[in-house]
Amino acid sequence: MSNIPRLHPDTISEVKDRADIYDVVSEQVVLKRQGKDYVGFCPFHDDKRNPSFTVSPSKQFYYCFSCGAGGNAIKFMMEIGKRQFSEVVLDLAKKYQVPVKTLEPAQRQELQRQLSVREQLYEILALTAKFYEHALAQPQGHGALNYLLHDRQMRPEIIQQFQLGYAPGGWSTLHGYLVEQKNYPVKLVEQAGLIVPRKENSGYYDRFRDRLMIPIWDTQGRVIGFGGRALGDDKPKYLNSPETDLFDKGKTLYGLDRAKAAIAKQDCAVVVEGYFDVIALHAAGITNAVASLGTALSQYQVKMLLRYTEHKKIVFNFDADGAGVKAAERAIGEVASLAYQDAVKLHILNIPNGKDPDDFLKIHAAADYQKLLEVAPRWLEWQIQNVIGGRDLSKAGHLQEVTEAIAKLLGSITNPSTRTDYIKECAEMLSLGKSWRVRQLEEDLRLQVKGHRWHGRSQRWQTPADRSLLEESESQLLRLYLHAPQYRSSIVESLEERDLEFSQTHHRFLWQQILDIESQYPISVQFEAEDGPDLLSMMRDRCTEFPNEMNRVYWMFELDEKTSSDIQRAPLAIRTSLAAIERVMCEKRRRHFLDLWKTTDFVSNPDLGQYYQQKVYAEDQRIKELDHQRQVQFNDLVQMPWTGEASIS
Residue 315 has pLDDT above 90, yes or no: yes
pLDDT recorded at residue 382 = 87
> Residue 455: pLDDT above 80?
no
**For position 311, what pLDDT does the model report?**
80
* Helix orientation angle between 379-388 and 396-410, rounded to the nearest 10 degrees: 160
Q: pLDDT band at residue 461, thresholds of 50, 70 and 90?
A: very low
User: Model confidence over 245-265: pLDDT tens digits?
Assistant: 889 888 899 999 999 888 888
For residue 70, give the amino acid letter.
G
Rounded Cα distance, 537 and 118, in Å: 83
Residue of 87, 55, 78, 53 whose CA lies nearest to 68? 53
> Cα angle vertex 506, ends 504, 507, to 5°?
65
Q: pLDDT tens, 127-150?
A: 999 999 999 999 999 999 999 999
Q: Is 423 helix (H, G, I), strand (E, B) or coil?
A: helix
Please name the amino acid found at residue 234.
D
Tens of pLDDT, residues 479-489: 889 888 888 88
Could you read off the pLDDT of 361-402 as tens digits, one per residue? 999 999 999 999 999 998 888 888 888 887 788 887 788 888
Domains in the chain: boundaries: 9-103, 107-246, 251-376, 394-454, 458-639
Q: How far apart are CA 78 and CA 88, in angstroms?
A: 6
Q: Residue 106, CB half-sphere, CA atoms under 13 Å: how many?
A: 1
pLDDT digits (tens, 9 = 90+) for 68-88: 888 889 999 988 877 888 888
Helices (H), 461-560: 464-483, 488-498, 505-518, 523-526, 535-541, 547-551
Question: Is the pLDDT at 207 greater than 90, yes or no?
Answer: yes
Give the CATH number of domain 107-246; options: 3.30.450.40, 3.90.980.10, 2.60.40.1180, 3.40.120.10: 3.90.980.10
pLDDT in tens, 566-578: 778 888 888 888 8
Cβ contacts of 611 within 8 Å, gap of 6 or more: 46, 341
Contacts of 545 (CB under 8 A, 6+ apart): none
Is pLDDT at 497 greater than 90 in this prediction? no
pLDDT tens digits, residue range 278-305? 999 999 999 999 998 876 677 778 888 8
State which fold the 251-376 domain adopts.
Answer: Dna Topoisomerase Vi A Subunit; Chain: A, domain 2 (3.40.1360)
Is the per-residue pLDDT at 50 higher than 80? no
Contacts of 377 (CB under 8 A, 6+ apart): 347, 348, 385
Average pLDDT, the chain: 82
Does the domain at residues 9-103 carry the CATH identifier 2.40.50.100? no
Give the E-state strand segments of 7-137 in sequence order: 32-34, 37-40, 53-56, 61-64, 70-71
Measured CA distances, 25 to 88, 243, 257 (Å): 13, 28, 17
Strand order in the sheet with 37-40: 32-34, 37-40, 53-56, 61-64, 70-71
Bridge partners of 626? none
Sorting pLDDT into bands at 50, 70 and 90, what band is 229? very high
Same fold, 9-103 and 251-376: no
- C-alpha torsion angle, residues 269, 275, 278, 279 (rounded to 10): 150
Give the model confidence (pLDDT) of 513-559 as tens digits.
888 787 666 544 444 444 445 788 788 777 767 777 777 787 888 87
Please report, to the nearest 10 degrees, the dihedral formed by the alpha carbons of residues 147, 149, 155, 161 taken in order: 30
**Model pLDDT, residue 649:** 40
Strands 211-217 and 223-230 turn out to be antiparallel
CA 230 – CA 436 distance, rounded (Å):
59
- C-alpha triplet 129, 135, 136: angle, nearest 5°: 95
Is residue 22 a contact partner of residue 57, using CB atoms and an 8 Å limit?
A: yes
Stronger pLDDT, 7 or 108, i.e. the higher one: 7
